[in-house]
């Protein structure tokens, strides 16, 4: 009889531990979902922003914290940093071209470099979008 009570007690402990683990997993999933909603709204704002507004949208994403989805945040920050840097360079070159002592040949070369940087950002932006889609499906 004592053996039976021990088994019942052990079963109750194991079921309680399983319940705690399931509860903990639910809490973690809820935290991930909330973090995804917050990060995803910032990434979507960045994706939708006009080029002139991308710097501010990038700053908002860069300044937000992450706990569980830092890979997603980091991939998007890196991608759009490269994109925004190239856009900034193109704006500077456009203004420089309008100055009286502009060197069109050098500026043309610099424009090609900035365009190359801009196209190099695309695979990184694709990675950001891929992670965004994977997280949306999983969460």
- Rounded distance, CA 107 to CA 96, Å? 8
Which region, left, alpha or beta, applies to residue 38 given φ > 0 means left and ψ of -120 to 50 means alpha?
A: alpha
pLDDT band for position 24 (50/70/90)?
confident
Cα distances (Å, whole numbers) of residue 12 to 18, 21, 64, 99? 10, 14, 43, 81
pLDDT band for position 20 (50/70/90)?
low
Residue 47 predicted with pLDDT over 90: yes
Q: Which residue has the higher pLDDT, 112 or 19?
A: 112
């Amino acid at each position: 009889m004592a053996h039976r009570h021990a088994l019942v007690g052990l079963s109750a402990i194991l079921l309680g531990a399983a319940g705690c683990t399931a509860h903990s997993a639910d809490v973690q999933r809820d935290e991930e979902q909330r973090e995804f909603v917050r990060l995803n709204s910032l990434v979507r704002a960045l994706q939708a922003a006009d080029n002139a507004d991308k710097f501010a949208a990038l700053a908002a994403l860069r300044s937000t914290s992450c706990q569980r989805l830092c890979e997603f945040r980091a991939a998007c920050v890196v991608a759009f940093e490269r994109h925004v840097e190239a856009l900034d360079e193109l704006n500077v070159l456009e203004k420089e071209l309008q100055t009286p002592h502009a060197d069109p040949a050098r500026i043309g070369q610099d424009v090609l470099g900035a365009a190359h940087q801009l196209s190099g950002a695309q695979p990184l932006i694709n990675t950001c979008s891929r992670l965004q889609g994977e997280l949306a499906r999983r969460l």
